[in-house]
Amino acid sequence: MSKKPTNSPHKAPARSAGLLLGLGLDNEDGHKRITKGEQFILLGGSEETHGRMTETTLKTFEELKRRDKCLKSVDPKELAEIVHISTPR
């Protein structure tokens, strides 16, 4: 009988993102801001922060579509690059 291979405790297995999560922590006005989509959820933040997260997320998914990629299949480094260029300045 052969044993199933085990993952090394020193190296996490590669994973793909199935959901993009945005979390804003600067809310001081008491409003609960939640924006959900099929592949993302944005929670919290001030009005300005939540708006920036929303804009960044929408632009990120537009860029993924332009590159003919989906969240589950894009390389994490490429996703980080896309999020970076999608963030409003």
Question: How many residues does the structure list for the chain?
Answer: 89
Mapping DSSP to helix (H, G, I), strand (E, B) and coil, where does residue 50 land?
helix
Q: Contact at 8 Å (CB) between 46 and 29?
A: yes
Return the number of other C-beta atoms located less than 10 Å from residue 26's C-beta: 10
Sequence-distant (6+) residues with CB within 8 A of 18 are 39, 71, 72
The whole model's pTM is what?
0.78
Q: Where are the domains of the chain?
A: 20-86
pLDDT of residue 8: 47
Please tell me what DSSP assigns to residue 7: -
Query: What are 31-50's pLDDT values in tens digits?
Result: 999 999 999 999 999 999 99
Query: What are 48-76's pLDDT values in tens digits?
Result: 999 999 999 999 999 999 999 999 999 99
